[in-house]
Amino acid sequence: MVILQFTKETLKLLRTVRKGQKTVLLNLTKKSIAGLSDEAISNTIQDLISQEKIRKVNQLVISIPRHLVTVRNLRFPSVDDAELQSMVGLQAGKQLPYPTDELIWDFKVIEKNPDGYSDIFFVIAHRNAIDRFLNILADCKLRIKRIVLSSEALLGWYLTAYDSRPKDASLVKTGAVIDIDTSYIDVVILRGERLEFSRSFPFKRNPEEMAEEIRKTFSSYERESSKKISFVVLTGIEERAAILKACIENMYKDEKIDFAHPLKVLSMDYRETRADYFDLSRDTSFSHILGIAYNSKDIVMNLLPSEEKENLKKQARRKMLAKATLLLSVMICVLSAVFINGLINTTRQVNLINSKIKETAPRVKKLKEISQNIALIREHLNMKGSSVDVIREVYKIVPQAVSVSVLDFELGRSLTIRGVSSDLSSVFKFSSNLGKSDYFEECQIKYAQKRIVKTKEVVDFELSCRLRKIKDESR
């Protein structure tokens, strides 16, 4: 795995390999990119990969800084994962003043409550920020597999460095982890092993000003959640952390304030056994990329665009298909060799040949069935119109006044949509937009009934349409 993190001044690179159950660090380095253009950054990445003698990048992960995204803590009236996915998707365009297709989002469930509500950690990034990473890496002929939020990566670092996962719920504590880097300070607040809140702000030379920003962050969280922060862990640039630690201790005399070096996840004696890495981290924090490398299992969010995720899935399916085709070819060659070898035998072995043919006939039949299945898979891969495509198309054209509650999808045939609108004209507009889409035809309004909800008039409706068959021309 190769992990990259871009800051305003520094490009950080880490490479690991799995040996059994153990993660082994192979490369940890950095390069200054202050004032460089994106093209120059691409060249720097290629030089760094060559310098570190990295021959092949199979799995590339990017850590996106917290200050480049918007985070919202939301609550939704459901505990069903599929329903939450739909509800959260509808919220993206309402949280920021941008069209939905210009936003990339993901979320993780903080907690599912007994009252049927779920608390959500919702992350939204503007597509321009994500596309910049994709374009820089594309110029290096590298393909990103995951884009990880630095807040979640920092939580992964903490859980690895401290391994504090109490089994007794009564022992679960609320705390904060603060990473001090060159330009920004990242703050994450966790309860047990759950990420509940995060914030990032620029580094300031005055430690009292930074401590005040942290106090505001803690106060805001404690006021909203009614939970008290009982411990603080600082990490990152050690010299800066020591100064900030003294300021925080003056503010919070009852809480435990600790410092842990980012390299603590490697070994307890990192100052001696990892002296080269320790010197490298004197003015740079590697907490985020170390957290991804050593605790990727606890990182669930991925801000890679949906079309890139789909391309990766298709690529994986094609690899599986190629392996199946190769295996089929080998089996056919083996069977052919057996068959040809039998044909050139003497007439005295005709009976043996006949018996071999009878023995292999069921296997040949099975191979033909496999070949037909592969052909069907190829055809399916070349077709648009999957449920993901249809749902994406519906939410792309749904008017602002319309809320979709039910999507009844029959693969390759029809789609029924039920929902609520604030006015009847939006229902007709929605039906008209569906009819203009390349995905739908014969759109009809089955019913549209008005009713009063809390003194306001709303319209319940049901639409139905047929699905067009569209060939995927991108292959």
Residues facing residue 239 across a β-bridge? none
Q: Give the position of tokens 């099975």.
A: 366
* Per-residue confidence (pLDDT) for residue 290, from 0 to 100: 93
Asked if 42 and 139 count as a contact pair (C-beta separation under 8 A), the reply is: yes
Nearest to 193 by CA among 239, 142, 222, 157: 157
Residues of the chain short of pLDDT 50, as ranges, are: 380-383, 473-475
pLDDT digits (tens, 9 = 90+) for 194-204: 999 999 999 98
* Per-residue confidence (pLDDT) for residue 167, from 0 to 100: 58
* β-strands 456-467, 174-180 pairing: unpaired
User: Which CATH architecture group holds 2-304?
Assistant: 2-Layer Sandwich (3.30)
Q: Between the CA of residue 173 and those of 112, 440, 447, what are the distances in Å?
A: 18, 52, 52
Burial class (CB in 10 A: 0-12, 13-18, 19+), 282: exposed
State pTM to two decimals: 0.66
Given the candidates 3.30.1360.100, 3.30.2320.20, 1.20.58.1690, 3.40.50.1970, the CATH classification of the domain at 387-467 is 3.30.1360.100
* Per-residue confidence (pLDDT) for residue 383, from 0 to 100: 47
pLDDT digits (tens, 9 = 90+) for 281-325: 888 999 999 999 988 888 899 999 988 888 878 877 887 888 888
- What is the CA angle 116-122-123, rounded to 5? 170
* Per-residue confidence (pLDDT) for residue 278, from 0 to 100: 81
* Per-residue confidence (pLDDT) for residue 367, from 0 to 100: 77
* Per-residue confidence (pLDDT) for residue 266, from 0 to 100: 73
Domains in the chain: boundaries? 2-304, 307-381, 387-467
Nearest to 314 by CA among 238, 237, 383, 232: 383
* Per-residue confidence (pLDDT) for residue 352, from 0 to 100: 76
* Per-residue confidence (pLDDT) for residue 175, from 0 to 100: 92
Residues facing residue 13 across a β-bridge? 4, 29
